[in-house]
Amino acid sequence: MTHSRQTPSILTGLAPQRIGVLLPIQSHSLWPRTDVYEWLVEDLRRNDKVDLLGLVYPFGIVSERHLLECPETFASPICRGKRLDQEAALRTRAWLDLYGPGYERFVLPKYGDMMGVWSRVVDGHPIARRVRLVPVRRDRWRDSTFKLALEKQTR
Amino acid sequence: MRIFPDTPITIGTMAVARLVGIEKVPPYLVGRYRLQPDDSIEFTDQVGALQGHFGLRYEPIFGTWASLVIPEDRDDVDLLIGIDTRFGRAMVEAGEDLQIHPPSLISETTVRSLALGYLVSARG
C-alpha cells in the first residue's frame, strides 16, 4: 500500500514537533473538565508540545475545544455499525493525512470504542511508526501507573 | 461516491430532512436539506425560539459544519451541511487507500447529530 499523498515533513521544511495525546472520549468516563480527566492530564497541560485530542466514535479525532464548546453533539449514544465504522475510519485517516505530518508522535491508551477503527486506519501507514500505545485497564483511568506511562511517552 | 446522504433523515421528533441541492461555496461543498415538519405548529414554535441563531455555523467536528437558514424565496427552514473540500478530498483518498466505499461520505447519523447538536446549542 502506498501513501504518496502524504507530504513528508522533510519536504515542507517543517519538522514535526507536536505530540498528540488521543483520549477515548466516547466511553464518557473521560470528559474534559471532569475530575478524573483533569487529574489524568494535569501534567500534560504543562507540556507546550502536547495537544490534547479526543478520539470519538464515529467522528474520529476531535479537538478538546470542540468537545467543550459543543458537548451536545457527543452526548447522545450512537449505535455502532458498519456504516459508522466506515465514516470513523475515513475521518480519522483524513485527519491524520492532513494534520499528522505536524506531529512527532501520537500517544493513546490501548482501549476504547475507536481501537478497532484506529488499528485499521494506521495499519501500514507511515504514521504507525509514530504511535505509542499505552496499556490501561478497562475504564480504570484513575491509575497512577497509567498516568505516569502516558506522561513518559510525551517527554 | 456521493458526498451527502440523499435518503430522508429524521431529525429527532421535529422534522424530516430531505436533500434538495448541493452548492459550491468555496472552500466548502454545501448540501441543502429541506426540513419538513412532523407537526407544523410545534415546529413553528421550536424554530421561532431560534431567532438570532439562523445562519450561524455549528462546527463540532473537523471539516464539517451545520447551519439553519431561512431561504429568501420561501417561508421554510433549510438545514445546510458543509464540508471543507480539502477535508472531503482527504476522506475520498482515505476511502481509496482503505478500500472503504460507503454510500455517502457523510452518514445520515452525522447529519442528524449535527442538526440536533445545533438545535440544542441554539436553545442554550
- Residue A109 resides in a domain: yes
> Are B97 and A1 in contact (CB < 8 Å)?
yes
ipTM, interface predicted TM-score of the complex: 0.92
- Residue A45 resides in a domain: yes
pTM: 0.90
- Tell me what pLDDT residue A77 has: 72
How far is A126 from B19, CA to CA, in rounded Å?
A: 38
Which residue in chain A is spatially nearest to B112 when comparing CA positions? A73
Q: How many domains does chain A have?
A: 1
- Residue A33 resides in a domain: yes
- Residue A2 resides in a domain: no
- Residue A6 resides in a domain: no
Average pLDDT over residues B8-24: 93
**B3 has a pLDDT exceeding 60:** yes
Which residue in chain A is spatially nearest to B5 when comparing CA positions? A83
- Tell me what pLDDT residue A2 has: 37
* In chain B, % of residues over pLDDT 70: 99
Q: Which of A73, A96, A122 to mutate to test the interface with B (most CBs of B within 10 A)?
A: A73
Residue scoring higher pLDDT (A39 or A80): A39
Instruction: Name the residue among A143, A131, A125 with its Cα closest to residue A107.
Output: A131
- Residue A27 resides in a domain: yes
Burial class (CB within 10 angstroms; exposed 0-12, middle 13-18, buried 19+) of B37 = middle
pLDDT band at A28 (very low <50, low <70, confident <90, very high): low
**B104 has a pLDDT exceeding 80:** yes
**B52 has a pLDDT exceeding 70:** yes
Containing domain of residue A61, as a range? 16-152
A72 contact residues in B (CB cutoff 8 A): 116-117, 120-121
Residue scoring higher pLDDT (B84 or B11): B84
Question: What are phi and psi for residue A13, nearest 5 degrees?
Answer: 80, 5
**B122 has a pLDDT exceeding 70:** yes
**Domain containing A121 — which CATH number?**
3.40.50.10630
pLDDT tens by residue, A98-149: 999 999 999 999 988 889 999 999 998 999 999 999 999 877 888 999 999 9
Question: Contact, A37 vs A7, CB < 8 A?
Answer: no
- Residue A105 resides in a domain: yes
